Amino acid sequence: MKTNKYILNFIFFLIFIMLWAGILQDHFKIFDEPALQGDIREVKDTSVSIDGWFGGEYQIAKEHFITNNFGFHNTLIRINNQFDFHMFNKANAKEVIVGIDNFLYEKSYIDNYFGRNYKGDTYHQELIEQIKFLSDTLKKIDKLLLIVIAPGKASFYPEYIPKVFVGDSSTSNYDGFIKYARSYPDLNILDFRSYFSQLKNSSNFKLYPKYGIHWSMYGSYLANDSIIRYVENKRSVKLRRMYASSYDYEQAHDIDYDIGAGMNLLFPIGENILPYPNYKFSESTDFVKPNILIIGDSFFWNIYPNLKTSFNKCTFLYYNKSVFPQNSTAEKVVDEEFTKSEIDQADIVMMIVTEAKIESIGWGFLNNTNNIYRINKGNNGPNITDREVKELINQINANPNWSEDIRKKAEERGVTYEQAVYDDAKWFLENKKQSSANEQ
């Protein structure tokens, strides 16, 4: 009986140690807990005040802080996530979908693939007009505008999308964009969605990782190589090139495992061996190093380390908000002045976007350049697109009285009818938009 008492007291003691584990870890950091991955916002501690206590705000803030910062918090989060993933095939990360055979997706990529958030024909028409305007404008000042479309995971691996998310396909934003881009064959577009889907079954290595949302390191290597060759061809120059001399075969890591890491599990999801290129520079020395300005999303990160070796100045505007490289602690503001300055210094302007977010291409960069290089340059006037002008010209031509007026004006001014109708349409639209702006 005494032995039993000792055993029971020992059991109770162990339970007590377990109860104290959180407090002890919090204060003494006995074990190293790896940080959690993802968009984790820091929760700051609060200090007590009489008003805060009696108003209840202190307790709410303190509980919030404790819940996000107590000892073994990260480990317990991983335990919870592992439990849910193992028991229910559920990912505790926003928008993450666990597909067939544990292929991981983000929901927005799936929705975009099935055309569930199509912006409409007019939207893409106007978007292409803006890109065309910028391309033509940069061409006049001997700069190249290059659009790079990275593939989205849902379009690359549609076969692993869970049945519950599969729906009727309708026009996607990618479809709309490409459709209107085709009206301007001179636009410089590298469509890796199309290219990679052709390569999918014949490529030596995986172009897209199972547990990542971006193209694989190998896929980005191919993309980088294609971009360099394209620029060389368009600019008739030779750029410094890297090539893969060998490959290390490793378990997917870093960007190739970004969704997997973001799920914050206790154990890796599964095996996914990928090739990681070891790079060497080509021996040729007769290359040039122009300047490049890139406006892009996270699909550029895989390419950035290699691409920048081929260029002299390589500025990357991440979502047109953060500037890389970050040379100083002060955050640069990406406004029109900054944009103009960077474009002036660049020989190539590259916009890179995944096809799943293609409707957001530029993230305001196109608006900025429209304002900088607007049609009614030199005036602080409203933005008029080519398409709007063309539409109005068609209306004028279809109106006999109006077109007759224009013909008379053309004779008086000594210009062609086409010039006169273009000027008139532009003037009409400017005034109309200016009046609307003034009323507001």
Q: Which is nearer to another protein, 93 or 222 (CB)?
A: 93
Smallest gap from Cβ 76 to another protein, in A, equals 4
Q: Which is nearer to another protein, 4 or 380 (CB)?
A: 4
What are the φ/ψ torsions at residue 243 (nearest 5 degrees)?
A: -140, 160
Give whichever of 137 and 368 is closer to another protein, judged by the CB atom: 368
Min CB(111)–another protein separation in Å: 15
Do 193 and 147 touch, CB atoms closer than 8 A? no
CB nearer another protein, residue 224 or residue 354: 354
Nearer to another protein, 194 or 298 (CB): 298
**Alpha carbons 400 and 419: distance in angstroms, whole number:** 18
How far from chain centre, in Å, is Cα 283? Answer: 34
Return residues touching another protein (CB under 8 A): 4-5, 7-9, 11-12, 14-16, 18-20, 22-23, 36-41, 53-56, 59, 62-63, 66-67, 70-71, 73, 76-77, 79-81, 83-84, 87-90, 92-96, 106, 213, 258-259, 262, 264, 298, 319, 321, 363
The kind and range of the H/E element at 216 are none
Tell me how far apart the alpha carbons of residues 20 and 6 are, in angstroms, rounded to a whole number.
21
Closest CB 59 distance from another protein, rounded Å: 5
| Distance in Å, CB of 55 to another protein, minimum | 8
Rounded least distance, CB 212 to another protein, Å: 10
170 neighbors 126 (Cβ within 8 angstroms): no
Of 8 and 415, CB closest to another protein: 8
Do residues 397 and 403 touch, judged by C-beta distance below 8 A?
Answer: yes
Type of residue numbered 303: I
The terminus-to-terminus CA distance of the chain in angstroms comes to 89
User: How far is CA 340 from each of CA 343, 358, 371, rounded to the nearest angstrom?
Assistant: 5, 23, 10
Q: Which is nearer to another protein, 137 or 320 (CB)?
A: 320
Minimal distance, residue 328 CB to another protein, in Å: 21
Residue 195 CB burial class (10 angstroms; 0-12, 13-18, ≥19):
middle
Helix spans in 335-399 (H): 336-345, 365-372, 386-398
Do residues 23 and 29 touch, judged by C-beta distance below 8 A?
A: no
Residue type, 248: D
Burial 160-177 (b: 16+ CB within 10 A, else e): bbeeebeeeeeebbbbbb
Smallest gap from Cβ 421 to another protein, in A, equals 42
Dihedral angle, C-alpha 51, 54, 56, 58, nearest 10 °: 50
Provide the minimum distance between the beta carbon of 79 and another protein in the complex, in angstroms, as a whole number: 4
Specify the residue, 105 or 230, whose C-beta has the smaller distance to another protein: 105
Compare residues 258 and 424 and give the one whose CB is closer to another protein: 258
CB nearer another protein, residue 50 or residue 330? 50
Least distance between another protein and beta carbon 407 (Å): 51
Closest CA to 291 of 350, 360, 333, 247: 350
User: How far, in Å, CA of 199 to CA of 205, rounded?
Assistant: 10
Minimum distance of another protein from residue 294's CB (angstroms): 16
